[in-house]
Structure 1
């Protein structure tokens, strides 16, 4: 791996960072900038998105012919850190979950007609989307093979869908959905992915599930399917390809979470450093206390470990690999580092950190979900153990260049 970046990528990173500094960070201190669920207010978001798009800072995760900047996964790692220095950043640049992962998977596998109807409106910022996979027990969570929602094929080739999903991020404001349901009992080809629009009959949102918060736009919803009909042209990659689609989508989407979380972790360090530099106690600056230096030094190291793991996983993805173990390692490290960063920054800021005078308490509540979403820590450690059992000492092999 070569950790140098091109001047062009560095320029893009700098422009994103400058936009965050001048346009987005000031909004965090304005109560009117927040909606009822503590995210950026939608009217304000639309105005900020227009500014970002006018400056060419839009959908950098997609290829130019799709409407993006085509920076690749490694370029995304560089830029996503910069954009998530603000809690509002990813949504402004159209790089927030779940749209981020949905756009990438549709770009990769959708037919030209599906891209026109289902992808382009998300890229243009006209609609939002959701990915409906997770189910209540005994259905599928981190293990898609447990999915209970069924899609029964009809004589005319359409599918009738019945079942229940929950914790579907963004569902309340989404117009375009990707749904994973069971079409057979085959362990390898029993799942199929479908596209549907919110205006289609046969489904409903049961509730928006209250969480520790703050929430993404559209919340995390429980959904009931009672005869939703999907036409064959709205099947992704064909019947039986659902498991493959989840693998194509979830790996890169998990990694983009990590990229964003590292940006927030760095923001926590920034707030802690700034406060420690000016706050005195018992005649000594906090920044001069060894205990504070140890906390911040250790945190800086953990963030850098996370960055290296993320970049290695991004490099593997750019080479065309699934990077399962690399993504799992990055996921564990980035999620736990974000939680640690928010906790340490609050500790250093004291009562100020626990208050709403800074965004630290927002980040702290948000950070706890990081160790759960897209697979809990324990699930990813199991993935790593499975790789270790299969590869032995080759788990740590060096990639060798071709002669």
Structure 2
């Protein structure tokens, strides 16, 4: 088995690390450059994005013909982890959700005309995007088969009606991918549509307040009320919505994990720095066995997460959906991130609970990790289903061809 990365990927990783240290962490440390939702303010973001683009660190995940650098999933795992040593890192490099997943699925599924109209402006950074799938009960959440938003065909147009919620980035987004039901077929009943924010027939009902810090554009509840879209707005084909969600959500779940590993590592950095310098009762905190046990356990958890993510990334690069591998990584890394923030806060004491560090930001953000892109329990059920269906092949190693 090969556990090395290419010199090309290492070059990107090292340059990202230098960029984060030199340019992003100073902005993160200056709360006057944050916005009211605990995210990086637009003026600071615009300046940093220009620097990232100038240094060739823009949209690494996309093909060169699209405007990226052509990294595969393994290369992305290395670089995304490095980006998210800062809470603001991914958005600076145009590698943050939901634009990240939307760009990758548009690159794969859109026609050339659709790419020119809907993908290119996101790649350039001119606009942001949203993926409108999740619905309030009794609509579709983790189970897209429960979707109630409909797109009724009338001649050459489709009329959309329904409600979506917790749509990340919707308040700021210009380009939307929306999932709707076009028939009752269990496999071919869903269709993906493209629309612009300025088109009539939809509205943002509210920006939903959440416990944690928010992405630009928040998490919104959306109402579709007679929106009319022509057939050229269909992405991939009528009835191919379920396939499109599989294309988008599997890699998107894994890119979350890649980024979360960077945040978990940042937690250990802050904890180690404090423990190395904090004295109490005649001994450094770092020299206490209780601290060493906590930090050693956390280091092991992060390395396990990296291995799970790398195996899933490699499996995706082989052309597989990697359902088993992605679900394992998603469960482990989501829980790891929460544990890393909690441990680092405990070691830092009151300082960790304050806003003197970003630990409290990461802690509030981390709780959503066990919910977004499928709750822990959903992925555990997926793993059980795969194990029950093929108990022998579940454990097999892939065999190389001579």
Whole-angstrom distance in 1 between the partners of 2:43 and 2:385: 47
Aligned to 1:171: 170
Q: Distance in 1 between matches of 2:53 and 2:36?
A: 26
CA drift at 1:288 = 0.4
Alignment of 1:69-80 (within 5 A): 69-80=69-80
Within a 5 Å distance, the mapping from 1:4-403 to structure 2 comes to 4-155=4-155, 157-403=156-402
Please provide the CA RMSD for this pair: 0.6
- Between the aligned partners of 1:231 and 1:28, the Cα distance in structure 2 is 44
- How far apart, CA to CA, are the structure 1 residues paired with 2:372 and 2:401? 38
- CA distance in 1 between counterparts of 2:392 and 2:268 reads 36
User: What whole-Å deviation, never above 9, does each CA across 1:129-177 have from its counterpart, x for those lacking one?
Assistant: 000000000000011111000000011x110000000000000000000
1:33 positional shift: 1.2
Q: Distance in 2 between matches of 1:72 and 1:130?
A: 23
Match of 1:200, SS state, is coil
Give 1:393 shift.
Answer: 2.6
Q: Secondary structure at the match of 2:76?
A: helix
* Secondary structure, aligned partner of 1:142: coil
CA-CA distance at 1:121 after TM superposition = 0.2
Q: Counterpart in 2 of 1:2?
A: 2
Moved over 6 A (4+): none
Q: Which runs of 5+ in 2 are unaligned?
A: none
Q: Report if aligned partners of 1:173, 1:218 keep a CA contact under 8 Å in 2.
A: yes
Deviation (angstroms), 1:193: 0.2
| Count of residues in Structure 1 that have an aligned counterpart in Structure 2 | 402
Shift of the alpha carbon at 1:248? 0.2
Distance 2:368 2:15 in 1: 30
Query: Deviation string for 1:296-354 (max 9, x for gaps)?
Result: 00000000000000000000110100000100000011101100000000000000000
Q: Is the 8 A contact 1:37 1:213 kept in 2?
A: no
Whether contact under 8 Å (2:81, 2:262) holds in the other structure is yes
Unaligned runs of 5+ residues in structure 1 are none
| Distance apart, 1:87 and its partner CA | 0.3
